[in-house]
Chain A
């Protein structure tokens, strides 16, 4: 949902400018990790994330931030095509930002555990969430506007996270990098063999 700026623009712009100025102070370190800040024009920021650990290195995704009404509201965060700036649909996402979490898991009939012990399971949950393949996914993370606007998170208000810097540019980039870029270890190659005919070892006389 697009909303107009209702917070004093000077307040949001000052905080936005601070985010960008602090980023620029340490930009050489961020560059080594594959972060390219390509546009910062209030209230929008576009950062392109690459995977420098690959040979050759790869551009993985763009991340578009919208700091309208910051920090009365958290920023909007979208994974976007790094060349066009268009938000990815779910079916186009280059990374789902999967994280490994422990759960209780389903009850297992016949499983006997010592008193007080609990079976723990590891499962993978994507931080990017959507309902259908043509939806624009959102980053399901405290500190992100789409997370706090979702009815499922009405009990976890932005105000609970605002003072810890959950919506700050670098913090959000760190999280996206941790789950979406750093785990990439190699290219996934898909080969499609094409049958061109038969091989004949001998030609009988």
Chain B
């Protein structure tokens, strides 16, 4: 079947706290724009997008202000969005 997506669109597979989803994104937008969409699609509420971090499959944290097209993601790319640690590490 022909791919009818406009040239500036890309589908990104994102695993949110372990739950996979596919986000349709604009290649010219910064990477951070996929976070709120991925959270919405997986029903994750209660923490703002800044409380999450996005990594590639090797575990490297991705710079969120970079344009999506700059990453040259392959078609089968899978990204991992996880809640940051937040507070913790001290008991009173």
Classify chain A's interface size: 35 or more
**Is there contact, CB below 8 Å, between A169 and B88?**
no
A46 on interface, CB distance cutoff 8 Å: no
A140 on interface, CB distance cutoff 8 Å: yes
Chain B contacts for A179, CB-based, 8 A: 85
**Is there contact, CB below 8 Å, between A142 and B59?**
no
Q: How far is the CB of B50 from chain A (nearest CB, A)?
A: 12
Interface string of B57-85 (1 = CB under 8 A from A): 11100000000000000000010101101
Of B80, B87, B89, the residue contacting A156 (CB under 8 A) is B87
Residue of A141, A163, A171, A179 ringed by the most chain B CB atoms within 10 A: A171
B1 on interface, CB distance cutoff 8 Å: no
Of B16, B58, B88, the residue contacting A147 (CB under 8 A) is B88
A-B contacts, 9 of them at CB < 8 A, read A22-B15, A22-B20, A32-B57, A33-B58, A141-B89, A166-B83, A168-B17, A170-B82, A174-B80
B44 on interface, CB distance cutoff 8 Å: yes
Q: How far is the CB of A144 from chain B (nearest CB, A)?
A: 8
In Å, the complex CA distance between A12 and B80 comes to: 25
Q: How far is the CB of A32 from chain B (nearest CB, A)?
A: 7
Interface positions of B (Cβ within 8 A of A): 15-20, 44-47, 51, 55, 57-59, 78, 80, 82-83, 85-92
Chain B contacts for A29, CB-based, 8 A: 57, 78, 80
In Å, the complex CA distance between A178 and B83 comes to: 12
Given A125-B89, A170-B18, 11 other A-B contacts at CB below 8 A? Answer: A22-B20, A29-B78, A29-B80, A101-B89, A141-B89, A152-B92, A156-B87, A164-B45, A164-B47, A170-B17, A170-B82
